[in-house]
Amino acid sequence: MKRYSVFAIAREAMRQHTGWDRAWAKATPKKKYDAIIVGAGGHGLATAYYLGKNHGIRNVAILEKGWLGGGNTGRNTTIIRSNYLQDPSAAIYEKARSLYETLSQDLNYNVMFSPRGVMMLAQTQHEIRGYQRTAHANSLQGVTTEFIGPHKVKELCPIINIDGPRYPVLGALWQSRGGTARHDAVAWGYARACSDMGMDIIQQCEVTGVRQANGKVVGVDTTQGSIDCDKLGIVVAGHTGVLADMAGFRLPVESLCLQALVSEPIKPCMDVVVMANTVHGYMSQSDKGEMVIGGGTDGFNNYTQRGSFHHIEETVRALVETFPMISRLKMLRQWGGIVDMTGDRSPIISKTPLGNCFVNCGWGTGGFKAIPGSGWAMADLMAKGEPGPLAAEFSMWRFREGKFIDESVAAGVAH
């Protein structure tokens, strides 16, 4: 793989850019792999990358029924933060955030990580107490956050209205090293690195069955034929229940649509990410000037990837009081992603009842921020057959044992 650098750009400019290689190779399935990852989104590609980088397992196939990064990875709002309440959550999200800081250098691909800072507004007395509690917990966990007052909020984000008649801004939980990254670039960077290690990325290859013998997985059936494997990783977000059913077990997850929208581009006016959980919305400004806006999930289970007018109204109405200027903006586009939700709003990174079959799911509406940490933990689990410290608490059996990792409040709107 040709290394990207300023010198490579200059060299290719001299020869009309005719020497660039494909970012990743187009592959056809081999008969057998040491490991198969189902799902070529951020989490699946990160799992494959760290299998190769950390554990030397490179005879790997990543199967994708559509196109690479075409699921939730390409349909999210790119927020990165780690200020969660529970210790296991804070550990894996902080691992991810720290990996994001050097990911461009690690992958030799600019993922456009922007540590612009993330604030979660406190607009009720209850939220003040909750965020102060989270700030204290983060301090013990080694996660740098602080609770700030309304005037500091206004200083960091001048366009905000802190004196709203219904929900005035009383403060915020502020993580200065949180921020955003370019979602497509994260997937493309991991894909390029996986391909360079000799892994096969096979698109338009839908898994139609999971084959097993003597209680262990032996391969998968796909629309491009049967493929044998020693280990199988299921990393398919909202479709996890479908794959689990093929493998013969059930998971405590449900699939819902999460909607978001962006406005027309405007001049730079906001260089932080703001989440307003009481009114249920959040907003940031993209590098192109669009205001990226989102809220919660649909109130019913579904697999749609389309937006709806009632959700536009609910989300924008919630934010107009806090950001009056957006009332004059025009919407540019809207979309939905299929998210997988667990009862405690925490993920599952776990062995399954089927031997050598592992699952990574349940990230709900906050999966993008966790991609590097999730891939690191899942690769460790698949390579060793037992969870490492990052994944140990996220077993699927915690729901049977009552060992919940409740992030339903700390997650706010669960982003």
| Each residue's pLDDT tens digit, 247-259 | 999 999 999 999 8
Checking if the pLDDT of 277 tops 70, the result is yes
Instruction: Please say whether the beta carbons of 134 and 173 come within 8 A.
Output: yes
- The pLDDT, as a whole number, for residue 410 is 52
Checking if the pLDDT of 150 tops 60, the result is yes
| Each residue's pLDDT tens digit, 157-195 | 999 999 988 889 999 999 999 999 999 999 999 999 999
Average pLDDT of the chain to the nearest whole number: 93
Checking if the pLDDT of 83 tops 80, the result is yes
Can you point out the beta strands (E) in 176-215? 179-180, 200-202, 207-213
Helices (H), 211-294: 240-247
What percent of the chain shows pLDDT beyond 70? 98
- The pLDDT, as a whole number, for residue 359 is 98
Residue ranges of the domains in the chain? 6-10+22-82+84-109+183-252+344-401, 118-179+255-342
> What sign results for the dihedral spanned by CA atoms 291, 292, 298, 303?
positive
- The pLDDT, as a whole number, for residue 414 is 44
User: DSSP readout, 132-170?
Assistant: HHHHHHHHHHT---EEE-HHHHHHH-TT--TT-SSS---
- The pLDDT, as a whole number, for residue 347 is 96
CATH number of 6-10+22-82+84-109+183-252+344-401: 3.50.50.60
- The pLDDT, as a whole number, for residue 412 is 44
Instruction: Please say whether the beta carbons of 36 and 227 come within 8 A.
Output: yes
pLDDT, average across residues 121-142: 95
Higher pLDDT residue, 378 or 23? 378
Checking if the pLDDT of 308 tops 90, the result is no
Checking if the pLDDT of 399 tops 70, the result is yes
28 phi and psi angles, rounded to 5 deg: -115, 150
Say which DSSP state 114 is in.
Answer: B
- The pLDDT, as a whole number, for residue 224 is 96
| Each residue's pLDDT tens digit, 25-59 | 999 999 999 999 999 999 999 999 999 999 999 99
Range in 108-112, 141-145, 239-243, 293-297 with the lowest mean pLDDT: 293-297
pLDDT, average across residues 209-218: 96
- The pLDDT, as a whole number, for residue 415 is 45
Instruction: Compute the C-alpha angle 189/295/234, nearest 5°.
Output: 45
Dihedral of the alpha carbons of 39, 99, 277, 339, in degrees to the nearest 10: 0
Architecture of domain 118-179+255-342: 2-Layer Sandwich (3.30)
Checking if the pLDDT of 408 tops 80, the result is no
Measured from the Cβ of residue 403, the count of other Cβ atoms closer than 10 Å reads 11
Checking if the pLDDT of 60 tops 80, the result is yes
pLDDT, average across residues 221-234: 97
- 211: helix, strand or coil: strand
- 1: helix, strand or coil: coil
